[in-house]
Chains A and B, each alone.
Chain A
Amino acid sequence: MSILKDWKIHVAAFIIVVICELIGAHKVQMGPGVLLFLPMLYAMVLGGIVSWPRLKIINLQEMNAASTVLSLTTFILVAKLGLIIGPSLVKVVQSGLALSLQELGHFLGTVILGLPLAIFLGLGREAIGATFSIDREPNIAIIAEKYGMDSPEGRGVMSVYICGTLFGAVWLGLLAGYLAALNLFHPYALAMGAGVGSGSMMAAASGAIIAVFPENKNEILMYAGASNLLTTIIGIYFCLFVSLPLTERLYKILTPIIGKNQANPKTHGGVAK
């Protein structure tokens, strides 16, 4: 029972959960929208502070244990979503066309916005690994197999992976809450958008959407869950056969047009060696 030996991590998590739920949700008006601060966001931030290496509260082994627990808990999340979708299976199938096509938005959305920006900022082939997908574990595997982790593409995918671990859920939670409060999009559309293919990011985004539209809670979870499931399951094939080749081609087309610092390879690369 090695995982229970790292009891400190579980005690810390428990205390964090209690504190965060006691604080509860808060809204802050910002321009036309609302920034939502939900218990889950404090939990991530508090956890981050506790695990700050300089504070020496928890050690590396305990952080790894937290990581293992994290992957198990996302399975609980998947089960909960499945249980929510079950009763409205027919309704989900009825929106099948919208659900399927919005997946294109998920898969290509990373490239459309990310790749031109990455090239503009002067990234080299890191840009390919960084933007071909949302860069979670399965996507890392694709890059590792094709280019190796020591390649620029490998560094790109790892960098975005780390940023996702550090800020992904918090960022999507704030972004989704803000967009929802703007009332530009229907809650169902936002819910489908929330299914980005990462359990914690999807959870944070849909949690924020629910906080804005509490009356549509079950539909939001249903569509977010279905969309996330689709992204996760077909994601690996889509990324391998469509997104990655497309990103490669676009990189070759765009780099001569908007790329800068081409003469100085040192400025390429997101991660210093």
Chain B
Amino acid sequence: MKTGETVLVLLLMGVMIVVGNTIGYHYPITDAMIGYLMIMAVTLIGMGLAKIMPIKLPMVFWISLIALLATSPISPYAGLITAYTNKVDFLALITPILAYAGLSVGKDLVMFKKMSWRIVIVALTVYTGTFVCATAVAQLMLKLEGII
């Protein structure tokens, strides 16, 4: 996707996120708008870095790195960025994401109809397994380390 298009789509997302954020979580709309633009800037910088860096690492890595640095103690603007981006609720971010996920579902239904019920059960077990096993190990380790 071209850069201009990416920016446009992200702005469009921003409208949905900020509106949802205001309806569902009652944060002040101007603060949320500034917060979203900051999140968007971090995303774009990360995506740009992934393109120009000589080491090939996933985009997710670069975006996380920039985001971490932006609010970590070493950043001079950490307080400011945290204050504004906190006004965009995490849950307000997920609703549009899952709305788009839902809207793309139709294209997979044809394949889905060809699948047997057994694989559906296996799939749900696979997702359950990764969540429950990791939670159990985390619980044990956090207890052993005295963190919880």
Contacts and interface: CB of A to CB of B under 8 A. Distances in A.
A101 interface: yes
Contacts of A108: 133
B9 A69 contact: yes
A162 to B, nearest CB: 5
Contacts of A48: 102-103, 105-106
Contacts of B147: 94-95, 98, 188
A136 to B, nearest CB: 11
Interface string A210-240: 1000000100010000010100110000000
Contact of B138 (A24, A49, A188): A188
Given A43-B102, A86-B82, A80 B39 contact: yes
Interface in A14-61: 14, 16-18, 20-22, 24, 38-41, 43-53, 58, 60
A80 B93 contact: yes
A73 interface: yes
B128 A113 contact: yes
A114 B124 CA distance: 9
Interface string B89-122: 0111111111111111111111110111011111
Residue among B23, B40, B57, B134 having the largest count of chain A Cβ atoms under 10 Å = B134
A77 B10 contact: no
Interface in B53-109: 57-61, 63-73, 75, 78, 81-82, 85, 88, 90-109
Contacts, number: 427
A255 B144 CA distance: 37
A151 interface: no
A105 B137 contact: yes
Given A63-B103, A105-B130, A105-B137, A123 B122 contact: yes
A154 interface: no
Contacts of B95: 17, 20-21, 39-40, 43
Given A79-B46, A121-B118, A130 B126 contact: yes
A81 interface: yes
B1 A68 contact: yes
A77 B82 contact: no
A134 B100 contact: no
22 contacts: A51-B102, A72-B1, A72-B10, A75-B60, A75-B63, A76-B93, A79-B43, A79-B66, A80-B93, A83-B42, A83-B81, A86-B68, A95-B145, A105-B133, A107-B130, A134-B126, A134-B130, A163-B123, A185-B136, A189-B136, A196-B130, A271-B116
